[in-house]
Structure 1
């Protein structure tokens, strides 16, 4: 998936994404900022910002003397973020339509944070190295990823449901999944180390909640899987949903486990 393709998917998924923001994205964004610790007066880049789940708390933390650049390619999500930033009177927060893998700021950042975004990079290593290149000496990169055994449980159910109606579309699930490279504390620590970062810390955030089938389907429509579901006809989509809900019932899935890892590494001073 290219960055523009990812942007188009989440641009289309903005309504369902917004439905889940209070329950999922905003709480996890607050947790990310609690771990990345933006400081008063710092310059922050929030990469793959969505509607600002982690950018908004970062802007509050850095205060009027600091600044936050929030980048994403999904314009409809940026619109949501701008509205909330205006409502909260966060004049130090800019929502920018841009590709973080090529972004070149006028000066380096103290902190770059990326919530659930690195595994959408066409080349995860190259994309992350670009992010580290935007940091000042001693600056820090914070990355939030899904913890192994959590959110990934819902993906096979969706894959099987789509496969029941359009087997040809399930080939995309056979491609390497970059999120699996960073879904344990050891993996994400080693990965950040391979980027040349040091003084690496990893925090585990346990986050679970009840999950109704209707809400689970909305979650899928507001996430990356939207790109696959949009290729189904209305009749196929309805049939896929029926199979998906049947899969939830047969596996007794009644809880969403969105437990995550928040890793922070520093560049050399």
Structure 2
């Protein structure tokens, strides 16, 4: 299996597994940052939108509301279980202008200039060649249209992230990750360098610092179970999983928040 296929398989497996906790209220940041991405765009009535790595609709659903019944949103994700969650929410909201698709953003088959807006929130870093993926998304933006990428800033989920990997290191060092792919684009300069490789220039990039409150260390565990960490947790036997959980809870006892720093990018073609 090549690097790209392996990365796609891992992402799909992790988020299909995480689907049972993905929409838990403790993980409300998915939808908060998705909605914020859409608000920053100022979508107009009747626009067509492609949302890739859409999850359960954190940005796609607000986009569908913004473009109205004469607009259209196509929402794509590799994880079928997240797509199913998004479809259920769209039905509950009575949104008939959104189509959810299980698919790969690199092989959607749309012609050049197919969309007024292309959105990717917390997803571009799942592809080993982020510049190539961005170039493909840019190709589908019509002249005068916009591409927006939202990615994580530095120190994602700290101190929860360190507590998690410390416990994994102690229990299953073979599962340790040496590098988080979003770190390359976690600063405006790093993101701008990647965009230049993709042929996207004159982008507006805004870094926003933030925190996400935790009522207790149990909240952190629920976040881990409903995010990309689940791909690692799914490889643990029940006894090891229980020990990793206890170590996470102990390390974060009394911790009232985790860091959720975000970088927003928007470019007009």
Deviation at 1:228, TM superposition (A): 0.8
Deviation at 1:102, TM superposition (A): 1.2
Q: Which runs of 5+ in 1 are unaligned?
A: none
Q: Does the C-alpha gap of structure 1 residues 260 and 35 become closer, same or farther in structure 2, counting only changes over 3 Å?
A: same
Partner of 1:117: 123
Q: Deviations over 1:135-188 (max 9, x none)?
A: 112322101111213425432221110111112222xx11x4321111112222
Give the conservation status (yes or no) of the 8 Å contact 2:159–2:252.
no
Point out the more displaced range, 97-106 or 84-93. 97-106
Partner SS, residue 203 of structure 2: strand
Rounded Cα–Cα distance in structure 1 between residues aligned with 2:172 and 2:13 = 22
The residue correspondences of 1:88-237 to structure 2 (distance < 5 A) are: 88-105=93-110, 108-151=114-157, 153-170=159-176, 173-174=177-178, 176-211=179-214, 212-237=216-241
TM-score, L = length of structure 1: 0.91
Deviation at 1:113, TM superposition (A): 0.6
Partner SS, residue 87 of structure 1: helix
Residue 19 (1) aligns with residue 24 (2): yes
Q: Does the C-alpha gap of structure 1 residues 21 and 247 become closer, same or farther in structure 2, counting only changes over 3 Å?
A: closer
Partner of 2:258: 256
Q: Which runs of 5+ in 2 are unaligned?
A: 1-5
Deviation at 1:266, TM superposition (A): 2.4
Residue 87 (1) aligns with residue 89 (2): no
Rounded Cα–Cα distance in structure 1 between residues aligned with 2:128 and 2:25 = 26
Q: Does the C-alpha gap of structure 1 residues 98 and 51 become closer, same or farther in structure 2, counting only changes over 3 Å?
A: same
Rounded Cα–Cα distance in structure 2 between residues aligned with 1:177 and 1:234 = 26
Rounded Cα–Cα distance in structure 1 between residues aligned with 2:42 and 2:95 = 18
Give the conservation status (yes or no) of the 8 Å contact 2:187–2:263.
yes
RMSD, aligned CA: 1.8
Give the conservation status (yes or no) of the 8 Å contact 1:116–1:146.
yes
Partner of 1:266: 268
TM-score, L = length of structure 2: 0.91
Rounded Cα–Cα distance in structure 2 between residues aligned with 1:156 and 1:209 = 16
Rounded Cα–Cα distance in structure 2 between residues aligned with 1:248 and 1:256 = 10
